[in-house]
Amino acid sequence: MFFECNLPRSLIPVYQPWLYQALESTIRTVYQRTKKLNAALDYLNRCGCPMQPETFQLWASSVFKLNPGRFDALSHAELATLCMSLYDGEEQPKRLEFPNAIVLYDTAFVTTKDWEILRHIGLGGSDSSVTNGASEFQTEEGLFYEKLGYTDLLAAAGKRLSDDKGGAVFERGHNVEDKVISIFCEMTGAVRIRETRMFQSKRYPACTANVDAILRMPDGETVPFEAKSTIDQYTTKQKWFGDAVPMYYLTQVHQYLGVLDDPRIKRAFIGCLPVNDVILADKYIASEPAYFNGERQYFHQEIKRDLEMETAVMTNAQNFWDRYIAMNLKPNPSGKADMDHYVALHFRPSPLTDDAAADLETPINIAYGDVEDDYAQFKKLDAEISSLQERIKTLDEGRKVLKDKLANLMGDSVAATVIDHDGNPIFYMTNKPGAKITYDREILEKYFPEAEEKARRVSSYLTLRVTEKAPKKKKTK
């Protein structure tokens, strides 16, 4: 069927009651809309209407956007008839299919409220920066509360974005998105292929992707495009200098590439348009492109596919979902977000990080019977991990020997093709030089103390250690 809905029919029993009910209701509504859309499309085919499915999707989504309530009240035949009356004979380009991804639903047929509710069933691209430790706006703890619907704790934590006046962040993203894409298309000659579906990874089912645009480049290449906007043009210029992309956006694009998992796609593009928001009476009205020295500010960067990066990003996201969301287990505080009052509310520093605590605090007593099973399981898993680590170390050493042998065969070449007796390529090897920049902190402290202090980032955390030896007290001077 052209329209698909693969939202979960049953939910994990960890959501707050209000969210659980909202999810059940919203999912049921989306299934009903999907059924109606397929029935309407089938009705058009039986009537001999030449309208292509992509064009019907465009007109039907226009009806929905204008009045979702009216759309829901229409029968499939009434919807088809209405779209036929709007049809002007101009067809939309054929959409691309992505067989390695699952279609969850079509975002063109959900309201803003529906979309916000459905975000709780997985981890989107914007969540990947949190699960990969790259977010400047959210903590893992905050994401946990958000996904499970702990609105009281989120309210106590305050807004995630301090500049979100009148809902500007959400509205700006939708209003400016088309402008960013249009600018890129004008600059490169790319053509936009309409794409509004929400995708889910087959290998990492917690990971979803709602790509802003699919573009066809002048040479026929297909590339996903992610559109961003910001109101801080000066900081933006620094963060996008040269070929740089902020890490919290980079993880998002790599998750999208990984979810689609399409061999036709070799790269993606991300564009950013600094804007000035128009706010009236604390309500967001619109956004206008920002100018600097009389020139419109705009940045875009190419992001090539990196399978190792995609795997790492989505593995971290899936682990976060399985370990914390699905188990309803609050993650440890990370202290990585710029939300001081949030961290103060939910972060309990270790007593050993306090300079005033010269000695170890008096430990509390816990009855062995309360932890006996957990302790036994912990020791068992700990032993298994140690055994696996030794095995991994041995395998890694063996792999290193083989890599050295392969590298020696290449000599001074940085690329090689391994061929069979007939000259057909079997696999490829590269051995490219690279460099990693590091900084000596002692030199910075000695010669550039002010720079070192400004660049220093301190993350507090808690470390749980389980041992059968009593911890030693710190010696007092």
In angstroms, the CA 18 to CA 12 distance is 14
Residue with the bigger pLDDT between 345 and 379: it is 379
Identify which of 197, 192, 263 has the alpha carbon closest to the alpha carbon of residue 224: 192
Q: Mean of the pLDDT values across residues 362-387?
A: 82
- Delimit the CATH 3.90.320.10 region(s) of the chain: 122-348
Residue with the bigger pLDDT between 330 and 318: it is 318
The pLDDT score that the predictor gives to residue 38 is 97
Residue 300, strand partner residues = 271
Task: Check residue 107 and report its DSSP letter.
Answer: G
In angstroms, the CA 226 to CA 299 distance is 12
pLDDT tens-place string over residues 78-92: 999 999 999 988 999
* Residue 214 backbone phi and psi in degrees, to 5: -110, 125
What amino acid is encoded at 369 in this protein?
Answer: G
The pLDDT score that the predictor gives to residue 294 is 59
Highest mean pLDDT among 51-55, 157-161, 366-370: 51-55
The model's confidence at residue 459, banded by pLDDT at 50, 70 and 90, is very low
**CB-based burial of residue 464 (10 Å sphere; 0-12 exposed, 13-18 middle, 19+ buried)?**
exposed
Q: Is the pLDDT of residue 108 over 90?
A: yes
Q: Mean of the pLDDT values across residues 344-368?
A: 50
Q: What number does CATH give the domain 122-348?
A: 3.90.320.10
Q: What percent of the chain has pLDDT over 90?
A: 47
User: pTM of the prediction?
Assistant: 0.67
Which of 173-177, 209-213, 327-331 has the least mean pLDDT?
173-177
The overall average pLDDT reported for the chain is: 81
In angstroms, how far apart are the furthest CA atoms of the chain?
A: 91
